[in-house]
């Protein structure tokens, strides 16, 4: 048995999305504000602790609030007209999680409560956990009663009901007070927790539909469907979690996942001392249903307790007799007696119960130094805490030690066949290498039990991790990654998110998949967390393009965005096409024209000579042509490929015609690489620039050339055996970095990217950091 996927709807940013689960590890990745936390909170609130977590109005997707208020308004209007009240229509707004399981036919005894039909013979089974009103009529009546109280109050104050502002302010000399509730959503802010509950419903596998353009299409429940009695997951799935809120501060109220007496609002403990104490009580305590091997420990405790009692009696004897001389206790009052109760677990109730041993050598003598738990680094504490909690989850599931004989009321009589473990942001405080070590070993820790290492075991463990760390993502296979993508608002909608399953991103193209996987492993790129991607041609571009962004005033705002820079040549960038299209990630490809003649040999670009481009990205992706004259004539808009359904675009930026004046004569410059394009854009700068290598050659070429054609030929010749990376490094040392202007094609591409990010920020409801309003230089030249 395993979880195939979940579908989450109407919950925060997740309007309707499917999240596929890998058989072992599933990793949630994505940019900030992309919905990863919404998914983890949904799993936590619907699956982990439905009794412990309180839902609030903000858990309902914002795009529904207007319609919910309209429904409440229709009730009020019907009441005012003394017409029958419209039936509440909540189904379209209610948050839910559909849990889809793959169950073998010989596991039917686990799932009897959620079988869709009696002739089911194995395969998928679905259960919906939905937050819904306990009684729709009661909710409706309570809301209308609250609104009537507001209306009566306002009429008593001489005000009209209906248009009262939801703010405080002064109107003339009167204070206008907004009374609660002004609408149905405001009513739910206070009443949702009391009037709503979670109910489970059996789903029909035959009605399951695949997502469309990233949006899930959950089945609609029949109006007369009855909920499942009790907890549909009881005895079926054990769910544990390590949340992101793992504070170190002392004095916090904390609880453990197995602590039934947790205070509301208390944080889960991360101190290893507390975790050890709870582990001891659950699995090792000899007083808890003692076994034969516990007798020796109990005997030793009894002997120690009697010896300590004797010493206490002798020590307090004089003090107690002195109290008796005061006339209290009286003849009829009981006398004081002091005795002890030694329990081994009390030995863990102090700050030094867990210590770190540090070996120290003083001369020839080896000494073990002991430091308390809080004295170690936060990363080390976090790592040990998380690993120990994983061990505790596993042992509680497998009923190790005393847990095996525990028969508390309501406890499961058998081990649930499925163990789901949620870990949120494990990278906190951890060094990059430790992050990778944790994600490599976490699943193995959860399976480190004799009953779980068998090949044919029916006990399944699934680990779900959400992360912002590219190091964690780097360590995992593509098949385990689930990319959360922000969807901009459309047609007045509120921004939402969808989830991309990267398992099938490359289909059957094994060569492409192998190349991309290995490339990402080598580069450690943060593609899965960026706002946009920029593909660059080589090391010179990798050095200079971010330099332009940093120092050119018109491009500086891009430095405040999360952009990932991928150094990948034009002959390989197209291999990432399927991945970029799947991610829906805004991308700029800065590449070279790479002109070749009929013999496919590299030549200087020129018009009207039937030249081609050998650049595979320009040929097969965008703008999807190899004819050089066609490429040189493309407008800025024609260099963009728009994916309307996925709501993103990809643009190519390559060398194009620019007008320059050299020795008083205006000419058309056609560059073939970044280096000659930089020279053409900065002829005056290079004419005065001091340096060696290519800088010296360019300076000499500018001084000695009579015409631009001669200059272009000499620059092309110099670049054949020149060190381009060294040139880029030398250009970084220019005293005034703003004096080095970017080539027109790079400037235009970066301005386009800035415009895209500014638009996306507005659509996503984020503060707009990038608002360029500059005409592309290359387009102006055309």
Regarding predicted confidence, which is higher, 492 or 497?
497
Give the C-alpha separation, 432 to 449, whole Å. 28
- Domain span at residue 308 reads 301-342
Instruction: Check whether 96 has a pLDDT greater than 50.
Output: yes
- Give pLDDT tens digits for 195-241: 999 999 999 999 999 998 889 999 999 989 999 998 898 889 999 99
What pLDDT does 506 receive? 75
Span 516-527, average pLDDT: 81
Residue 526's pLDDT band (cuts 50, 70, 90): confident
Please, are residues 592 and 673 in contact by the beta-carbon 8 Å criterion? yes
Question: Which residues lie across from 238 on neighbouring strands?
Answer: 419
**DSSP characters for 303-323?**
HHHHHHHHHHHHHHHHHHHHH
Please, are residues 46 and 97 in contact by the beta-carbon 8 Å criterion? yes
Give the C-alpha separation, 481 to 473, whole Å. 7
State which H helix or E strand residue 582 sits in: helix 577-583
What pLDDT does 77 receive? 96
Strands annotated E in 163-278: 169-171, 174-176, 196-203, 237-242, 254-255, 267-268
Give the C-alpha separation, 593 to 619, whole Å. 11
* Selection from 563, 586, 557, 565 nearest residue 772 by Cα: 557
Regarding predicted confidence, which is higher, 570 or 101?
101
Span 88-111, average pLDDT: 93
Span 51-79, average pLDDT: 90
Indicate the SS3 state at residue 502: helix
Indicate the SS3 state at residue 53: coil
Same domain (yes/no): 667, 652 = no
| C-alpha distance across the termini of the chain, in Å | 63
Span 663-676, average pLDDT: 94
Same domain (yes/no): 282, 375 = yes
| Number of domains making up the chain | 5
Q: Which of 181-185, 223-227, 326-330, 724-728 has the lowest mean pLDDT?
A: 326-330
Q: 295 lies in a domain? A: no
Same domain (yes/no): 651, 662 = no
Q: Which of 2-16, 301-315, 366-380, 510-524 has the lowest mean pLDDT?
A: 366-380
Q: What is the CA 760 to chain-centroid distance, rounded?
A: 19
Q: Which of 187-196, 264-273, 595-604 has the lowest mean pLDDT?
A: 264-273
Regarding predicted confidence, which is higher, 160 or 721?
721
Same domain (yes/no): 106, 228 = yes
Span 474-486, average pLDDT: 91
Same domain (yes/no): 369, 407 = yes
H-assigned helices in 398-475: 432-446, 470-474
Question: Which residues lie across from 498 on neighbouring strands?
Answer: 485
Instruction: Check whether 259 has a pLDDT greater than 70.
Output: no
What pLDDT does 93 receive? 96
Same domain (yes/no): 169, 92 = yes
Share of the chain above pLDDT 70, in %: 75
Residue 51's pLDDT band (cuts 50, 70, 90): low
The token duo for 130 is: 């939905």
Instruction: Check whether 510 has a pLDDT greater than 70.
Output: yes
Regarding predicted confidence, which is higher, 780 or 381?
381
Please, are residues 12 and 497 in contact by the beta-carbon 8 Å criterion? no
Same domain (yes/no): 390, 314 = no
What pLDDT does 132 receive? 95
Residue 376's pLDDT band (cuts 50, 70, 90): low
Q: Which of 209-218, 254-263, 758-767 has the lowest mean pLDDT?
A: 254-263
Q: 485 lies in a domain? A: no
14 φ, ψ (degrees, to nearest 5): -95, 90
The token duo for 608 is: 């009207």
The token duo for 2 is: 């395993």
Give the C-alpha separation, 30 to 507, whole Å. 22
- Give pLDDT tens digits for 159-191: 554 444 444 444 444 555 668 999 999 999 999
What pLDDT does 779 receive? 43
Please, are residues 219 and 210 in contact by the beta-carbon 8 Å criterion? no
Give the C-alpha separation, 638 to 591, whole Å. 16
Same domain (yes/no): 642, 671 = no
What pLDDT does 25 receive? 96
Strands annotated E in 259-306: 267-268
Span 129-138, average pLDDT: 96
Share of the chain above pLDDT 90, in %: 52
653 φ, ψ (degrees, to nearest 5): -125, 115
Q: 506 lies in a domain? A: no
H-assigned helices in 663-707: 674-681, 683-688, 693-704
Query: How many C-beta atoms lie closer than 10 Å to residue 531's C-beta?
Result: 23
Q: 63 lies in a domain? A: yes
Indicate the SS3 state at residue 586: coil
What pLDDT does 491 receive? 58
Please, are residues 561 and 531 in contact by the beta-carbon 8 Å criterion? yes
Please, are residues 446 and 405 in contact by the beta-carbon 8 Å criterion? no
Please, are residues 415 and 399 in contact by the beta-carbon 8 Å criterion? yes
580 φ, ψ (degrees, to nearest 5): -65, -40
Same domain (yes/no): 310, 438 = no
What pLDDT does 164 receive? 46
Give the C-alpha separation, 654 to 744, whole Å. 9
Instruction: Check whether 413 has a pLDDT greater than 80.
Output: no
Span 430-443, average pLDDT: 89
Regarding predicted confidence, which is higher, 212 or 28?
28
Same domain (yes/no): 390, 400 = yes
What pLDDT does 286 receive? 56
Question: Which residues lie across from 613 on neighbouring strands?
Answer: 595
Regarding predicted confidence, which is higher, 345 or 522?
522
Please, are residues 537 and 569 in contact by the beta-carbon 8 Å criterion? yes
Q: 249 lies in a domain? A: no
Give the C-alpha separation, 550 to 545, whole Å. 9
Residue 314's pLDDT band (cuts 50, 70, 90): confident
pTM: 0.81
Q: What is the mean pLDDT of the chain?
A: 82
Span 95-103, average pLDDT: 96
Sheet with 25-30, edge to edge strand ranges? 237-242, 418-424, 460-466, 25-30, 481-487, 496-501
Same domain (yes/no): 139, 50 = yes
Give the C-alpha separation, 601 to 599, whole Å. 5
Instruction: Check whether 737 has a pLDDT greater than 90.
Output: yes
What pLDDT does 328 receive? 46
Q: 326 lies in a domain? A: yes
What pLDDT does 698 receive? 95
* Selection from 23, 14, 65 nearest residue 42 by Cα: 14
Please, are residues 214 and 20 in contact by the beta-carbon 8 Å criterion? no
Instruction: Check whether 61 has a pLDDT greater than 80.
Output: yes
Rg (CA), the chain: 35
The phi-psi region of residue 665 (left if phi > 0; otherwise alpha if psi is between -120 and 50; otherwise beta) is beta
What pLDDT does 428 receive? 83
Same domain (yes/no): 163, 206 = yes
- Give pLDDT tens digits for 454-472: 776 789 999 999 999 999 9
237 φ, ψ (degrees, to nearest 5): -135, 130
Q: 143 lies in a domain? A: yes
Please, are residues 114 and 108 in contact by the beta-carbon 8 Å criterion? no
What pLDDT does 443 receive? 95
Span 472-497, average pLDDT: 83
Q: What is the CA 274 to chain-centroid distance, rounded?
A: 29
Residue 390's pLDDT band (cuts 50, 70, 90): very high
Q: 578 lies in a domain? A: yes
Please, are residues 297 and 333 in contact by the beta-carbon 8 Å criterion? no
Please, are residues 583 and 500 in contact by the beta-carbon 8 Å criterion? yes
Strands 648-653 and 640-643: antiparallel
């Amino acid at each position: 048995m395993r979880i195939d996927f979940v579908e989450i709807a109407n919950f925060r940013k997740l309007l309707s999305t499917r999240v596929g689960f890998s058989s072992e590890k599933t990793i949630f990745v994505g940019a900030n504000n992309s919905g990863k936390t919404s998914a983890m909170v949904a799993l936590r609130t619907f699956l982990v602790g439905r009794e412990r977590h309180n839902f609030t109005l903000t858990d309902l997707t914002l795009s529904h609030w207007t319609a919910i208020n309209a429904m409440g308004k229709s009730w009020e209007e019907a009441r005012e007209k003394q017409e029958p009240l419209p039936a509440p229509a909540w189904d379209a707004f209610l948050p839910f999680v559909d849990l889809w399981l793959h169950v073998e036919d010989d596991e039917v005894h686990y799932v009897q409560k959620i079988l869709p039909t009696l002739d089911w013979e194995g395969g998928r089974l679905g259960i919906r956990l939905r937050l819904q009103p306990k009684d729709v009529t009661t909710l409706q009546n309570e809301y209308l009663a609250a609104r009537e109280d507001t209306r009566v109050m306002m009429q008593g104050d001489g005000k009209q009901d209906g248009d009262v502002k939801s703010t405080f302010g002064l109107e003339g000399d009167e204070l206008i007070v907004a009374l609660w509730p002004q609408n149905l959503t405001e009513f739910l802010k206070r009443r949702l927790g009391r009037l709503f509950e979670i109910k489970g419903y059996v789903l029909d596998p035959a009605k399951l539909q695949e997502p469309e353009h990233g949006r899930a299409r959950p089945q609609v429940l029949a109006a007369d469907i009855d909920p499942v009695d009790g907890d549909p997951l009881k005895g079926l799935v054990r769910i544990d979690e390590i949340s992101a809120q793992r504070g170190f501060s002392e004095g916090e109220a904390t609880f453990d996942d197995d602590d039934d007496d947790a205070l509301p609002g208390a944080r889960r403990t991360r101190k290893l001392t507390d975790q050890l104490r709870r582990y001891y009580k659950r699995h090792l305590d000899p007083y808890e249903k003692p076994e034969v091997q516990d007798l020796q420990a109990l005997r030793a405790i009894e002997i120690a307790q009697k010896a300590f009692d004797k010493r206490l009696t002798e020590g307090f004897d004089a003090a107690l007799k002195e109290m008796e001389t005061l006339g209290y206790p009286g003849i009829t009052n009981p006398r004081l007696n002091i005795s002890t109760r030694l329990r081994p677990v009390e030995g863990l109730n102090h700050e030094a119960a867990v210590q770190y041993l540090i070996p120290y050598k003083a001369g020839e003598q080896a000494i073990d130094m002991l430091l308390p738990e809080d004295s170690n680094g936060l990363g080390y504490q976090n790592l040990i805490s998380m690993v120990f909690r994983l061990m505790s989850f596993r042992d509680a599931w497998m009923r190790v030690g005393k847990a095996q004989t525990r028969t508390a009321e309501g406890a499961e009589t058998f081990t649930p066949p499925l163990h789901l473990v949620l870990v949120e942001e494990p990278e906190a405080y951890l060094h990059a290498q430790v992050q990778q070590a944790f994600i490599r070993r976490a699943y193995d820790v959860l399976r480190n039990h004799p009953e779980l290492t068998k090949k044919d075991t029916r006990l399944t463990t699934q680990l779900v991790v959400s992360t912002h760390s590219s190091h964690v993502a780097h360590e995992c296979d593509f098949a385990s990654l689930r990319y959360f993508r922000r969807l901009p608002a459309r047609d007045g909608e509120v921004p939402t998110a969808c989830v991309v399953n990267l398992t099938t991103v490359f289909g059957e193209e094994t060569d492409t998949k192998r190349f991309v996987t290995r490339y990402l492993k080598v580069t450690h790129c943060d593609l899965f967390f960026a706002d946009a991607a920029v593909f660059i041609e080589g090391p010179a571009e990798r050095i200079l393009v971010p330099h332009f962004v940093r120092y050119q005033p018109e491009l500086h705002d891009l430095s405040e965005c999360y952009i990932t820079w991928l150094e990948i040549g034009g002959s390989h960038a197209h291999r990432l096409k399927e991945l970029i299209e799947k991610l829906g990630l805004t991308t700029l490809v800065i590449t070279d024209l790479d002109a070749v003649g009929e013999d496919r040999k590299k030549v200087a670009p020129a018009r009207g000579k039937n030249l081609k481009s050998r650049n595979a990205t320009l040929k097969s992706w965008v703008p999807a042509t190899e004819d050089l004259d066609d490429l040189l004539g493309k407008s800025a808009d024609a260099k963009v490929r728009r994916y309307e359904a996925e709501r993103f675009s990809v643009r190519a930026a390559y060398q194009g015609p620019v007008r320059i004046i050299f020795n008083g004569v205006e000419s058309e410059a056609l560059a073939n690489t970044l280096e000659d394009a930089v020279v053409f854009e900065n002829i005056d700068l290079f004419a005065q620039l001091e340096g060696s290598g290519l800088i010296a050659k360019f300076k000499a070429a500018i001084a000695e050339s009579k015409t631009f054609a001669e200059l272009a030929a000499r620059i092309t010749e110099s670049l054949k055996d020149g060190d381009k990376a060294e040139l880029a490094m030398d250009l970084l040392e220019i005293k005034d970095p703003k004096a080095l202007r970017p080539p027109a094609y790079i400037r235009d591409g970066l301005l386009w990217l800035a415009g895209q990010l500014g638009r996306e920020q507005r659509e996503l409801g984020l503060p707009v950091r990038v608002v360029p309003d500059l005409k592309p230089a290359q387009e102006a030249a055309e």
